[in-house]
Structure 1
Amino acid sequence: MSRKWVNETLGEPLRSAPPYTVMNKDYGWTDLYEVKDHDIPTSMQINYDLEDRVRSVTFMPTSELRW
């Protein structure tokens, strides 16, 4: 999935972090979304590669979120 498709489907993220480099390893964008209609407040973090394709999706309780 592309970042454009995710934004068109889920809307704008709550927060975004731009691409960055750590120890000569490049990372793409990271977007944070709120998961609605759930008993426990949950957030979804989507990590992208440098070509703006989804690399990973993580669901976590919002109380555990550290941004």
Structure 2
Amino acid sequence: AAAGHSGPELYGLSLTVMTGLLVVGFLANELVRPVHPRHHVTPPGSAPAAVPEHAPKEAAAHDDAR
């Protein structure tokens, strides 16, 4: 046993680290956004996909900034 600890006390640090990693993973998952259709790769010989007219306002604002 580590430094005089026994039983459930041994798992405190491990559970704290796992909880922290779970929170980081959740936040990273929430920050993921869809890729803009202009970045999609089309196979040779096929027609490119049309960008939908109902594109999010965020994407439209980003396009205007360029």
Higher helix proportion (structure 1 or 2): 2
Please state which band the TM-score falls in when normalised by the shorter chain: under 0.3
Q: Give the TM-score normalised by the residue count of structure 1.
A: 0.20
Q: Give the TM-score normalised by the residue count of structure 2.
A: 0.21
Greater radius of gyration (CA): 2
Higher strand proportion (structure 1 or 2): 1
